[in-house]
Structure 1
């Protein structure tokens, strides 16, 4: 592992749609790079006002027929999760919201009334979202930006907006700063998902179920460009997941979790990424069947395997 002194000047920006996404998808990566002394910033686009609350304690905070205070409570959950991911004895990482807390609202799923809310993130105006994100990137000027894939992980309009905004904003910020940003998409590796589900098959908590085939999204192994080993910070990721108690239930095993749908999902000890762009060398996206050489560090420039000469 890199010593903190070796990471001086490294900056990592992670873009997420709602509180809890940062931990579910990249919590171990956040914790590991904080351990290594990297300057990490997590920017969340909404407060997650439309989240489905687990249990009765906070059920009336919901937007539909409740107090509509869930977003404010999820700021607290995010604050505590980032504290859990921060190394002991260090100042805790704190939440940061694009445009300020409450600037854009959780859109909910497409076709729901929340998607038509005038402040819904997915309703735009898109240029305003892009401008705010370009300002955020240029001000922090990280070497690495982490975002979502074009599908928005599982089709959520806010995740898709985060992806689309990053595609538009990164070149704008790069033009201002002169930095060629490494941009990664946070994804799930297919073989890791299969292995995690197989290991969990005999310990499904009461009331939960295993996912149906292809119900949890994943990418073929050959598409993965970067794999971050989070074994050393795994327990901090699990602790951070447990903090998001309105949205996430951690299994007694501490190796699986479920959202309000009670569908079991593994908690991986490796987090996977696809390098989307590398301006200095052009696009590094491989063709669907083209093998990739994996990196174990987001800051290491991706190099394709040398092609054999005829």
Structure 2
């Protein structure tokens, strides 16, 4: 247990990931006085404009635009933000898949990619880190690499013999994977939306998931976050090049979501403090008053 101010680091691959994964819970913790730092491993430079109503963006404008959007999103969530400084790898498509672009994040040697994150862990001194599972949540090369550098930082940041010159060692106490995009959650929301007499955006998604099953995470920790869904939605809308305001993110009636699934869900991947599962708090086992 600790009596000092609690600190949470959320490690993400691209700007906008922080607003679609765990955003309401990070906003909740920030509002409660926890120091929350969002880390973007890449600048999202190779992201396409996914909002059909946005219009075209010149290629030389995308980097600056993504940074502007990220600043607005961080303000909406009430969190701090840092760029890790790597270049987006893009999402290769085709058969066979084309090679990743030279110099991108996913092609970096692990120690090169992890060094700035180790330095940031040592500087910020988080008690808890959130990141993606070994599949990246979905198999985007930057998401998989985000998992790898997060695990490297988790293991190495507290070891004085590793990554010399990157600050005073610090040992985080808990590590979580995001588990929000589960078939269980989507199926429950789908049924609740239909029961409310509305059209569900999840029918096709559920059919595809059943036809091509993907590994389901074990949810250990459900953080009540419904009061901060508006902050999450504001952060999502801030990423206007990426998020369609008429798309599926906003197709779920918020009163239905708050009633049916008022939590954001995580899997406890590693812990250095005793904790009892299931949890309703990422800082379970760390708070002095519990």
- 2:174 maps to which of 168, 177, 182: 182
Aligned position for 2:37: 41
- 1:195 maps to which of 174, 182, 188: 188
Aligned position for 2:19: 23
- Rounded to whole Å, the distance in 2 between the matches of 1:294 and 1:131 is 33
What pairs up with 1:217-296 in 2 under 5 angstroms? 219=216, 223-251=218-246, 255-256=250-251, 269-280=262-273, 293-296=277-280
Aligned position for 1:73: 65
Contact 1:107 1:115 in 2 (8 A): no
Shift, 1:148, TM fit:
0.3
CA change 1:295–1:199 in 2 (3 A) is: same
> Scaled by the length of structure 2, what TM-score is found?
0.79
* Structure 1 residue runs of 4 or more that deviate by more than 6 Å after TM superposition: none
CA shift digits 1:83-137 (9 cap, x unpaired) = 1112xxxxxx343101xxxx31111124579853223100102211111111111
**Relative contact order, higher structure (CA 8 A, sep 6+):** 2
Contact 2:8 2:37 in 1 (8 A): yes
Shift, 1:252, TM fit:
8.4
CA change 1:169–1:248 in 2 (3 A) is: same
- Rounded to whole Å, the distance in 2 between the matches of 1:249 and 1:57 is 9
Contact 1:31 1:236 in 2 (8 A): yes
Q: CA RMSD in A?
A: 3.0
Partner-residue secondary structure (3-state), 1:275: strand
Aligned length: 261
CA shift digits 1:226-252 (9 cap, x unpaired) = 111111111111111111121112348
CA change 1:160–1:173 in 2 (3 A) is: same
Which is further off, 128-137 or 174-183?
A: 174-183
Contact 1:229 1:271 in 2 (8 A): yes
Shift, 1:190, TM fit:
3.3
- Rounded to whole Å, the distance in 1 between the matches of 2:37 and 2:8 is 6
The reply on whether 1:59 has 2:56 as its aligned counterpart is yes
Unaligned residue ranges in structure 1 (runs of 5+): 1-5, 62-66, 87-92, 258-265, 285-291, 303-310
Shift, 1:8, TM fit:
5.1
Contact 1:46 1:104 in 2 (8 A): yes
Unaligned residue ranges in structure 2 (runs of 5+): 161-168
Aligned position for 1:90: none
- Rounded to whole Å, the distance in 2 between the matches of 1:105 and 1:163 is 16
